Structure 1
Amino acid sequence: MLSLLALSDGEDERSFKFNLFVDDALIFNWSKNLKKFTGFDVILGNPPYVCARNLPEETLLKLQKFEVCKSGNSDLYIPFFQLGIQNLKDAGILGFITMNSFFKSLNGRNLREYFKQHSLNIKIIDFGTEQVFKSKNTYTCICLIEKSHNTTIKYCKSSSLSLPTKQSDYNSIPYIKLNSKTGWNLNDFETISKIEATGIAFGDLYKTRHGIATLKNDIYIFNPVKEDKDYFYLQNGSLYQIEKGICKDIVNTNKLSRAVSISNLKEKVIFPYDNADKPSLLNENFIKENYPKAYNYLLNKRRILDNRDKGKGEYENWFAFGRSQSLEKVKNKLFFPKMSDRVPSYIINSEDNLLFYNGQAVIGHTEDEMLFIKKIMESRLFWYYIKTTSKPYSSEYYSLNGNYIKNFGVCQLSDSEMDFVLNENNKNILDVFFEEKYEIRLT
């Protein structure tokens, strides 16, 4: 405190010389501002946590010059790794506390490859789902990077925000075993590698799909407050009659993170498309003539619909859904949520007219194939894989997005083994069976 007071009063100005610069780090050139600049011995920082969708156009243009920003839509923290390493002396040290999403994210692909190609000497302390910054809902790690060559990465998964105190707290993972394209599995590398090397990758066997995207669910999706022979009654500001003929059943599969039945999830969606296997948008005059109540309701909400995508959306017509995904009929679907804090409910459904939103589904397979993958995904082994490799969210939730499950190795079974799995309903017995099949012991 005395030193701070001395500095503030100017008493130490002869003793200290601060070379402070205020500028845009993305374009600042140290060599032009410091004579004989050869790099820093130490760089410490906390790069800005700004996701790509919140960056202004001028910043996005600046990111394009960075090698590490050329995969996906780069978040702002990513180029600071390249900036820091380029401005280090040989054997200099970079220390960042930053987001841990680059381990697996698409926009971290080139950053992972940058580290690998330069064989950088890296130590990572991963805080996982722990919230280091209580005011920020983000997941962080400490990266200590020496500008020297090494064949391995040192990784430590922290518990309760504790820091490693000895070298044996770190696991060494060879760069050669890390896949920059599919993501780095740093936590329990040996077990995860064994799972992914078993059988055939989930993404090569099964097709997953996200639900419909209206971009304004509260306009299209509703629970009727009542109904009669011809109409559902929708309460949205006022009470509206909606013709039953323009509505379909729909479920929010994100709610499957808890055990619920499909019948309890069903809502109604105003569906301005025909009933073909691959639906086409209805003509506006057709809706106006055949479903005048629904048309007047949508017209009443047009200003809200026009503001989707910040008013810049290019839709087939103003009343169309924001995206055209997942409109077609699919007979067999295995519904599951986008994220969960436990083994979620996986529900097989064969209603080809039933739509879904928010969550995901495995689609286009036979009932036996659906039942088999359902039992795999309900297993202790699969949930361990998710908790170990997936993106964490608050309250111990983990993502089940296709990017995080596509590399899970699906074991191949003999006919007798398949019969056993399809007919066995005791989860504990199945857990033991799958772990023996993968030669992994989790308990």
Structure 2
Amino acid sequence: MINILKKKTSEKVGFKIKDLNSCIQLSNIILENNDEFVSYNTLRRLYKIVKDTELPSNKTLDILSRFNGYHNYQYFIKTYKFENKWKLQNDVYEIQNSNDINLLLTFLKKILKSKENHISVLIQILRELLLQKKYHQLYKIFALKELEIKNLTYDEVTHIGNGIGLLLRKINLEDEVIKTLLSIKNYQDLVFTMFVDYANLNTYYFQHIKLFKTIKSKDYLVAFYLCIENLHSYLYLKQIPHSNISLKEYYHPILKSRIIAQKLFVKYKNIINHLDKHYEIPKIPKLPIEYFYELIITAMITKNSVVMEWIIEKVEDNKEENYIFHIRHIQHYFIMKSLYFALKKERKQFKESRKFYSVEAGSTSYKEMLEIFIIIAQYQFANASERINLKNQYLQTTKKLSYPLFDENYLILSAIP
């Protein structure tokens, strides 16, 4: 907050505080305007013009705060964050109301660079443009260099995907709009492949897959949608259409795990040998959990306890923080682990594993699917009255999803699909 106060002070006087003369000038302005004195040497230390390891005194900070219109430094700390948020929101309203796309793009570039409430503001703007059907503005924003995936953190990408993906469940877009969005790489990376909507593979999301197939795409995106088509077929109890999806070394670890997981849909006989072969990477002795991400969800869908056990052995060896750095990934793992112990009828281990997961902390686009596996695992150890309640929950959730795989028989773990 001290740096923010210094910046506000510099902005108020209209010049940078960078040398002795500017410190003298600032000292005089504060004295003239507020009748309070801060020596130029104090200002030199505050602005790091001369080396000093000591923090500025409360008196100095109070004087600078009053110069900027606050009662004191503590009042500045308490009110600035709200003041800044309100100003930012007002800027958003005014810029959107102006309908000036160049002004909007300049504004977004600025906040994306500043990294201050940038993702929340971006999502707000994107959602409003979708609702207002201002698609050309939407296309230009998604094309921004600042929104390239290399410029964002994993959590930022996840928030963007969730923010837009959840809205796509509620609105109808024309096919041409969808195709245009799908042709923009940033949209592919931030929404289409990030928010894989497991709850809507029979509605809008699969329609997006169909339209995406009409667009000339890179091989990793082709591999991605072929995997989704296989999943769709499995959920609809149909024959798996793509048995040999090409896997290349440069693919993202999550996509690799998705491709490798396809073998589970066809009940590949030597699955453990197949997994061992693909996961033998000498340069990475301990694999991050993202390498198992889609394999985890597919093992649950197929109720493959052999693969679950293999995953548990691999992950338990790598539970240092360095290897489990995304909370969503580890949540899926713990849900799978509890399902595994339910399959094995190991009540004690099941109860222990239940302590570590929360469906709310899992991936938003997987939420309904994860709820099914939690209910199934709990059902195995429930008494008669609890089973009635859990069965009702299961039927309500599966009715929403409408996937033929999830019938009443699927609730029984001994019934392997």
TM superposition score normalised by structure 2: 0.24
Larger relative contact order (C-alpha < 8 A, sep ≥ 6)? 1
Question: Hey, which of these two has a bigger chunk of helix by percent?
Answer: 2
Greater strand share, 1 or 2? 1
